[in-house]
Structure 1
Amino acid sequence: MHGLRSATLALGLALVAAACSTSGRDDTSSLPSTSSTTPTTTEAAVQAPGNLPTGPSALADRFHPDLPEPLVDPSEIRSGGPPPDGIPPIDDPTFVPVAEADAWLADPEPVILLELEGEARAYPIQILIWHEIVNDTVAGVPVAVTYCPLCNSGITFDRRVRGVETTFGTSGMLYNANLVMYDRATESLWNQLDGRAVVGVLTGERLDRLPSVVVSWEELRRTRPTAAVLSRDTGFRRDYGRNPYTGLDDPDGTPFLFSGRLDGRAKAMQRVVAVDDGDRAVAWTLEAISGSGPTVTVGEIGDEPIVVFWQPGQASALETDDVSGGRDVGDVGVFTTTVDGRVLDFEVRDGAFVDTETGSTWNVLGEAVGGPLAGTRLEPVTFVRTFWFSWAAFRPDTLLVDAPTS
């Protein structure tokens, strides 16, 4: 069975690569679907802008002797199949209103919600699954909205490095089966999961994470009706809505294109919600935080009490051939529990998240929608939803919280 699954995934990856190399932009079918901005260099040296260092391109040669000491073994960065920007990032995104996007987004579909300075934007996974990176600007902030299908990790970064704005492309390579990005200023290589430059002249730099969250389309439509939604009019021909990685999300399966050590504390492909404050990391399996209805899970990171809200309604994008057709994996929010100096306790009451101190009701985005605290927002905690094998490979010292065995 696993052999058939691996063959199916390999075929899916081949189809992605084929789509990226032969089914190009809407205005031509004869050109490769490479990025619409600066093409990748074939030269060893890159002239970087601003105060960024100039030196060899790690994208062209990650083993170049003049590069700084890498943070990972370059030989463990492996090809995923497509060439650089063969999976084309979206560099000139356009957006449509929620009402227009509702015609092609199903209620349980996952979307990445990003809010900055009151400006809300939604990036459907059905689009990101084919492009992996959207270079955008939201409320004046240059951002890279990223999604790695093999790890199921959706993460948003500030695109500025040492104060210099750049854009990011797909290198065509993987590290621990995770998307390896490259910046177009120096062509250094970056891990998506932790936002670090691991090979190149910027080795050791880390991108600032921005507080985005993956929610169901239904939840976004209900709570952010004025959000701008990434349009399917991307400039590329893709079968948006179809999952080219059918069968990838299998809790009993094995990771695809991963050759690292597996952490046996949980199944490799179990979904986890992971929090990392830089010193400590905690991860909860989906089974530990989910239920037949909304759930509240308490924890702490460092000495800070936090709460995990979970509610049903979001489909796995990576299980069936339809992005909206997978099993229910739910929406998640993670927050600190202190409001105006008071620590709140939460429970589920009549299907709603409620704090026991005031009786106010809250939504999965951490907003009080009823009661004395209506209009208050909990402080979000940055977290990642991904597969256990991937998170454990990057943070093997993680404290794992799993559901009790019967």
Structure 2
Amino acid sequence: MITVPVALGDRSYDVRIEAGLLNRAADQLAPFARRRPFVIVTDANVAPHAERLAAQLPGSEVITLPAGEASKSWGHLERLTDRLLELGIERNDHVIALGGGVIGDLVGFATAILKRGCNFIQIPTTLLAQVDSSVGGKTAINSAAGKNLIGAFHQPRVVLIDPDLLDTLPARETAAGYAEVVKYGLIDDIAFFEWCESNGAALLAGDGDARAHAIAHSVAAKARIVAEDERETTGKRALLNLGHTFGHALEAETGFSDRLLHGEGVAAGMALAFAFSARQGLCPEEDAARVAAHLAAVGLPHDLASAGISASGARLVEHMLHDKKMDAGTLPFLLARGIGQTYLDKTVDLKEVAAFLDERPR
């Protein structure tokens, strides 16, 4: 087992990574057990895994939600919290989030507000959740105005990652999660990006060693950044948003639907961030081209055309105005001086962003 600590004082916890871990989850969960049974929240796609987990936890209750981004809504939040209250959840109980980023976000936010804060445990089942969203305590639901605009920082008590769960994940979902793996190399670790260029195809083909290395490296990178800037107050954690400002605008244009998965939006967003940086003379053109080429090589969107976006630059910028990072009318952007040299820029002119997007091939 690989154990990665997330050092946050009295909110510290471990991320434990091991193939086959779900089959031994009861041992890992024993320290968090109380006299009351666990409640497991999952979605329809992950229900068979929830049954395997419930069989190890006598008396446990399984709440199954619809799969997909639409579950991160006020309606499903209300239904989930009402059901948890019906089950008599207490503050010191532990609700288990078994699923991808949608389930982790929804359960995390529900437990953050239920009785002013209950405990939860993350067992992520997608690559995206395993390398990114299950670690760090960001929880949220979507609103009509945009993605993840209603939420709270609420850290889990432990994160249990079983790479074998990826065996049942559709190839498209795995590729979407891989975008978040690449992100860690683009932020500040060119050696890891080079590793991705050499090993990304093997990872996506199911190579166990490549998968385990990518997950452990990504989790350690995120844990380090979160420990330095838990609530995104110094700007360090903001680096984790690379590709998200562009990406969320693309997702909004598709109605946050399966037309463009979150990781696919992030992939296109990262390529756009590097292309815009190159257009501004900040980043070498060859670095921007290299990023786009790698994303294209693994089948991920790398521009507006491959993301299926035909909207004007002005319309996409309008989506960006609802970004939760807006500060005093200014939207910070994650730009790059090169691969592994991402930085936060608070001086970007949105008119230039719109013009840049209008120039991109459709």
**TM norm structure 1:** 0.27
User: Which one has a bigger Cα radius of gyration?
Assistant: 1
User: Which one has a larger percent strand, Structure 1 or Structure 2?
Assistant: 1
Q: Which has the higher helix share?
A: 2
* Higher RCO, 1 vs 2 (CA within 8 Å, ≥6 residues apart): 1
TM-score (normalised: structure 2):
0.29
